[in-house]
Amino acid sequence: MSFPEEVIRKLQTAERIVVLTGAGISAESGVPTFRDAQSGLWANYDPEELATPQAFRRNPRMVWEWYMMRREIIKKVKPNPGHFALAGIEKRVTRFLLVTQNIDNLHRLAGSENVIEIHGNIQRTKCFDEDVVIDTWDTTDDVPPRCPRCGGMLRPDVVWFGEMLPSGAFEKSAEAVRNCDVFFSIGTSSLVYPAAALPYEALNNRILSIEINAEATPLTVHVDHHFRGPAGEILPQLVAAAWRA
């Protein structure tokens, strides 16, 4: 893929780069995107119906087991060239922030350091009642397992629909976007808020905005450049064109 000279030149002189990623960047690692058809027990459920506190209250066992199934998938996958390319960009600029909607930990495994997980992390568990992270608990027949502190149900430490993002995560991300030189939106359908509002912080501040995605999204008509295709192929080519030239 060839890239516009404006993009290459801007990347070579950029000091501050902010990237927003979604499930699409993990797709090539074998992690189903949020909207991939659900399988097995959950085939008849829309993920947006499962990833809610209401669903958990209504059927805690089913929601807990959905996350345990996803955790097992994520334990077996590895970062792909798209993740590694972003970790490489972080090493080449003065200030880099990676804001991810993904809960799969793959950016950190690929070596990214300055990461905000705005939707939490599936590997972490917390108490549904006390909202505190729990690292160990007694294994009993209870599904979900119980909190060793209060006996409440345990849940994955992820942000469900209708729940607030981790305190300060959105504000810190938006501040970084407003003050960067180049903004990327990669592998996200740009449908879920408030994450999907972040690109508009760049657009409203006339910051060079680039989207890399397998399909068009509501953001596509607004960005300066839209590169269509797999992030795992496009990002390494972009890094080579900008920094290995």
Relative to beta strand 95-100, strand 115-117 is: parallel
Number of helices (H), then strands (E), in the chain: 10, 8
**Annotated catalytic residue 226:** no
Interaction between residue 193 and ligand BV8 (CB under 6 A): yes
| Distance from C-alpha of 113 to C-alpha of 96, rounded to nearest angstrom | 9
The H-or-E segment that residue 15 falls in is: none
Least gap, CB of 39 to ligand BV8 (angstroms): 14
In the set 106, 187, 209, 211, which binds ligand BV8 (CB under 6 A)? Answer: 187
The 10 Å CB-count burial string (b at 16+, else e) for 124-155 is ebbbbeeeeebeebeeeeeebbbbeeeeebbb
Show the tokens assigned to 173.
């991300």
In the set 30, 162, 168, 218, which binds ligand BV8 (CB under 6 A)? Answer: 162
Contact 213, 226 (CB under 8 A): yes
Interaction between residue 7 and ligand BV8 (CB under 6 A): no
Is the Cβ of residue 13 or residue 54 nearer to ligand BV8 in the bound state? 54
Interaction between residue 203 and ligand BV8 (CB under 6 A): no
Residues 89-108 that bind ligand BV8 (CB under 6 A): 101, 103
Interaction between residue 48 and ligand BV8 (CB under 6 A): yes
Interaction between residue 51 and ligand BV8 (CB under 6 A): yes
Which amino acids are annotated catalytic? 119
Residues that bind ligand BV8 (CB under 6 A): 22-24, 27-28, 33-35, 48, 51, 101, 103, 119, 158-164, 187-189, 191-195, 213-215, 217, 230-232
